[in-house]
Structure 1
């Protein structure tokens, strides 16, 4: 479910994987028990910004043509809320986005030893950090308290995603008293 604030109220978009499953069950058997097979909803790639054809979103193919047009119109009217690159995320006041970590008293900062990376991973790290520095999201700090290594994860398109190894920082923070019972 997705709720979007618009003039005059809130629009709620609801979707269910059960609807296609119910349609298959109602249509009856066709030689095999298709109701037990997982239903994979196809998605359609739609360019929502006419000036930048690479800015696309995936929309479920179960939408009607009218529904797809309405959704694309809503997305086009609200293009300013999307961040297509790191530079698009700047300009939010610090009092809205800045937070402090709840590190337990008495825990001393941990500076992880630098881990070497393969050449292709190191190149991806340099590019990602360069983008974040250029956008003003990151800055160089010479005297840091905590230091964590980057961890590179291969994406499905063979590019790299940069993550950070926060295991030492996580150990210094208190556990959540009310963890989510099931993440699903």
Structure 2
């Protein structure tokens, strides 16, 4: 008698979008639909009580001392800096990039540098809601850095290790 294994794919997890801060209704969090009403309410209450720890706009992210937040990259010896050639963007993408960069400069997160040793291009990636996310192509910089002997654990492993525990 031959037994066939039937692979069942898990049902897709539905998420509930919740706007926590009434001043920024377009910024929302996702809560799993499979939570009980009591669980959803508890999560929302915790988030609302701690709204001050979230950065709602780029200027909210300042205030961390540079010595605490600044990171020095370990670059392999004898590695020459790579200056990527500027990639052209469509006018609407270029405008979006300039607006994002300007916000980060005004917030003090980025600053203008006159003589750069490494240059990387911005890259626009479509988000699930059809909006754009600005990223930076650090391919060559990553290649110049030594591999980490003790990398951070996979975030999925950390989240799965919390399964079965209450909020």
TM-score by length of 1: 0.71
Task: Show the 5 A alignment for 1:55-134.
Answer: 55-134=27-106
Over the residues paired in the alignment, what is the CA RMSD in angstroms? Answer: 2.4
Higher strand share: 1
Q: Which segment drifts farther, 167-176 or 51-60? A: 51-60
**d(CA) in 1 for partners of 2:94 and 2:23?**
33
- Cα distance change of structure 1 residues 112 and 51 upon mapping to structure 2, 3 Å threshold: closer
Stretches of structure 2 lacking an aligned partner (at least 5 in a row): 1-5, 157-167
Q: Which runs of 5+ in 1 are unaligned?
A: 1-32
Contact 2:21 2:48 in 1 (8 A): yes
Q: CA 1:49/1:157 → structure 2, altered by over 3 Å: closer, same or farther? A: closer
The alignment of Structure 1 onto Structure 2 pairs a total of residues equal to 151
Superposed counterparts of 1:1-184, under 5 Å = 36-178=8-150
Which protein, 1 or 2, shows the higher relative CO under an 8 Å CA cutoff with sep ≥ 6?
2
Structure 2: distance between partners of 1:71 and 1:121: 36
How far apart are 1:178 and its partner, in Å? Answer: 4.9
In the other structure, the counterpart of 2:162 is none
Higher Rg: 1
| Aligned mates of 1:134, 1:79 — CA distance in 2 | 23
Given the two structures, how large is their TM-score scaled by the length of structure 2? Answer: 0.78
Distance in 2 separating the partners of 1:48 and 1:98: 30
Q: Secondary structure at the match of 2:17?
A: strand
SS at match of 1:49: coil
C-alpha distance in 2 between matches for 1:125 and 1:97: 24
